[in-house]
Structure 1
Amino acid sequence: MGHWLVIDLEATTDEGGWPLEEMEIIEIGASLVGADGHERDHFQRFVKPQRRPCLTDFCRELTHIAQADVDGAGSLPQVWAQLERWLEQHAPRLVGWSSWGDYDRRQLEQEWRQHQLTSLLQGTPHLNLKQAFAKARQLPRPVGLHSALQLAGLQFQGAQHRALTDARNTARLLPLVLPLKD
């Protein structure tokens, strides 16, 4: 029985948003989900941004991540090494990884290149769950995570715009899209 890894990132930003190239990961949340859609394990860490170490007021209000959270965190290379060590124990059963939309995959790939990092995920299939959900539900266009949960008859659980909470809520939609059974 295979597992899926659902990843959500929080990143530096300001009102109106920043281009992807200017954003930096400040929190990683990952939920490892079994074939039944239930969490088997999880990973959460804050990351200290290098280029713009001071979070904007907008970013702090949106994510509820305090400046002290990122000030006391490791750099992305340090945190990514921790995630990879955590992931190694699950790698033999990992079928794929998923995120809500394509932003998280693109942000990770950009930062892997910038920091010259390698990852077990680089050879693992990625599923854009936002697109897959829209297709499975025959929606005219993809919807946000909140709307998708409502369409599925589920309530968002926990605080929005926190990486692990968002990853866990995203993971709840996986069984509705994937034939997760063997």
Structure 2
Amino acid sequence: MSEQLLFLDFEFTMPEDRSTPEQFRPEIIELGLVSVIDGEIFDRLSTFVRPMRFPTLTERCKNFLQIRQEDVDAGISFRELVETLQTYVELCPTTPVTWGNADLQVLRENCSHAGLPFPFDRRERDLSLEYKRFFGNRQQTGLWKAIEEYGRTGVGRHHRALDDALTTVEIFRMIEKDKEYLNRRERMTLGDRVDLEDVWKKLHDWQVKTAK
């Protein structure tokens, strides 16, 4: 049976002041989604989402994310967002993949406040945590810093949801490739590690030389 990895990135509303007021909670205003089925990109999606509780974006949010008020005003509703995610989940067994745990945490909280079901029933994969464990880092690394550590550049522009989701796919593939390489090295025999034919040839040449 086919399996789907659903790479997700959300952008959220932000309060005007960095000291978050008690009544404020982040809401999803942009979705970036990349569906990978059996290792191949099946689909990608980018859309803005209308916030429910605080529909007017703060200046800080607009400046930081470079998202306009008219962008979110023309976006889909949060209910439509959840329904869209559910259509992907219905394709085949699906595991959501994100960089960090904030995306699905905010999605879960938004679903709870809207009285809608959380669309995923499988355990999510936090790729930033996998990256941290794989490289033995003490702290978790930001998405674009991680791609730079691989000697690459991110896709498009940072803090655009689809670009960040595509960048997460790229890092995922590189980590999986490194894991496969390390596993292959651990399974190598002495014959794999050393070209015995070359060793015997050098030994024979030495014996001929010393016999003269």
**Aligned ranges 1:62-81 → 2 under 5 Å:** 62-81=64-83
- How many residues get paired? 176
Runs (5+) with no aligned partner, structure 1: none
Give 1:24's aligned residue.
27
**Structure 1 stretch displaced more, 38-47 or 6-15:** 38-47
Give 2:9's aligned residue.
8
TM-score (norm 2): 0.74
Conservation of the 8 A alpha-carbon contact between 1:12 and 1:25: yes
**Aligned ranges 1:153-168 → 2 under 5 Å:** 153-168=151-166
Q: After superposition, what is the alpha-carbon deviation per residue over 1:91-118, rounded to whole angstroms, capped at 9, x for unaligned?
A: x153x11111010011011011111222
**Aligned ranges 1:46-61 → 2 under 5 Å:** 46-61=48-63
- Offset of 1:83 from its aligned partner? 3.1
Give 1:105's aligned residue.
104
- Offset of 1:139 from its aligned partner? 1.5
Computing the radius of gyration from Cα coordinates, the structure with the larger value is 2
Whose RCO is larger (CA < 8 A, sep 6+)?
1
- Offset of 1:145 from its aligned partner? 0.6
SS of the equivalent of 1:48 reads coil
Over the aligned positions, Cα root-mean-square deviation in angstroms equals: 2.4
Shift of the 177–17 alpha-carbon distance from structure 1 to 2, 3 Å rule, reads farther
Which structure carries more helix by proportion? 2
Runs (5+) with no aligned partner, structure 2: 181-212
**Which of 117, 121, 124 matches 2:122?**
124
Percent identical: 26
- Offset of 1:84 from its aligned partner? 2.1
**Structure 1 stretch displaced more, 43-52 or 111-120:** 111-120
SS of the equivalent of 1:105 reads helix
SS of the equivalent of 1:22 reads coil
Give 2:168's aligned residue.
170
AA partner of residue 67 (structure 1): Q
Displaced runs of 4+ in structure 1, greater than 6 A? Answer: none
Conservation of the 8 A alpha-carbon contact between 2:108 and 2:118: no
- Offset of 1:65 from its aligned partner? 1.3
SS of the equivalent of 2:113 reads helix
